[in-house]
Amino acid sequence: ATPTALLAGTGRGARMGVLIRGPEALERAHRIDTVVMDKTGTVTTGRMSVAGMLDSSGQTMDDESAAQLLAVGAALEAGSEHPIGRAVVEDARRAGLGVPPVTGFEALAGAGVRAEMEGYTCLAGNPALMHDAGIDIPEALGEALEEAASQGRTVVMVAASGQLLGALLVADTVRDTSAAAISRLRRAGVRTVLLTGDNEGAARHVAAQVGIDEVHADVRPADKLSVIEDLQGQGRRVAMIGDGVNDAAALAGADLGVSMGSGTDVAIAASDITLTRGDLGLAVDALGLSRATLRTIH
């Protein structure tokens, strides 16, 4: 009877928009007491846009300098598959800006991008990337960036040949279904955790908006799995929800991996459950389905 009920459960899941990879996944889902979520593209839509620009002293730029900075940013990000990079390229295109050619493009996971432009080595990425490259961030700019981060902005700093040109402030939007899904989890006694490579300010801003209990920010892609393992080491049964290549190891290492259907192929392949719509409520439905199915068995 057990396998039959589980199979019926996975069938019911499919009709709800939750693709469950096999009966064991449904079985494992009913023990979950902690749900860890990626931020960008999971709790948020991941459709980002440039909401502002600052010069290297933290001042708002005039239109001409802002257009130049956006064009350089777009040139460096042209080869990027990251939602941040795509947003910068798309905004430059919409503004009708000419984007200079680059060579030697390199994506730096969890940090930004590097490319050569007119013979200069250029970088676009987070403050940690600038720090690693030995580029100083003037105090006034640092303060302005902290302020932007606390309002939920992701910071993309642009530098050429070791000189800071300025920073793009990138905005994302929380999915309108996220807060309701997270409050259902909390009512069911499930601990909620945000796990992101983005800055602390942006992470806390999103967590507060949707009511997430615990935040791990500035986590490099290689360290996302360690956060899952730490929680497991505390005796927690952990589900991970994510969409990116950088979430794949955490999805595979969690007791239950849940991917967004809009996510990367790598994330989908590493997960036990895929949500066919970008709605975290479907993940909560899946946990509920699993509990109901297992109840009929026991």
Collapsed DSSP state (helix, strand, coil) of residue 170: strand
In this chain, which of 243, 255, 272, 279 binds Mg ion, going by CB under 5 A?
243
Query: Whose Cβ is closer to Mg ion: residue 30's or residue 39's?
Result: 39
Supply the minimum distance, in Å, between the C-beta of residue 42 and ligand ADP: 8
Q: Which stretch binds ligand ADP (CB under 6 A): 20-28, 35-43, 130-138, 265-273?
A: 35-43
Asked whether 61 and 166 are in contact (CB, 8 A), the reply is yes
Supply the minimum distance, in Å, between the C-beta of residue 168 and ligand ADP: 8
Mapping DSSP onto H, E and C, the string for 140-161 reads: HHHHHHHHHHHCCCEEEEEEEC
Contacts of ligand ADP in 250-289 (CB under 6 A): none
290, interface contact from Mg ion, ligand ADP, none, CB < 5-8 Å by kind:
none
What DSSP string describes 235-250? Answer: T--EEEEE-SGGGHHH
Positions annotated as catalytic residues are 38
In this chain, which of 50, 53, 149, 156 binds ligand ADP, going by CB under 6 A?
156
110 is an interface residue for ligand ADP by CB under 6 A = yes
Q: Which stretch binds ligand ADP (CB under 6 A): 5-13, 122-130, 255-263, 278-286?
A: 122-130
Contacts of ligand ADP in 65-94 (CB under 6 A): 77, 80, 82, 84-85
What is the size of the binding site for Mg ion (CB under 5 A)? Answer: 5
Torsion of CA 143, 145, 146, 150, to 10 degrees: 140
d(CA 187, CA 242): 22
Contacts of ligand ADP in 177-216 (CB under 6 A): 196-198
Burial 149-174 (b: 16+ CB within 10 A, else e): beebbbbbbbbbeeebbbbbbbbbeb
Check residue 51 and report its DSSP letter.
E
Residue type, 86: R
257 is an interface residue for Mg ion by CB under 5 A = no
Supply the minimum distance, in Å, between the C-beta of residue 237 and Mg ion: 23
d(CA 91, CA 72): 12
Binding mask 10-49 for Mg ion (x = CB under 5 A): ----------------------------x-xx--------
Query: Whose Cβ is closer to ligand ADP: residue 58's or residue 197's?
Result: 197
d(CA 197, CA 280): 20
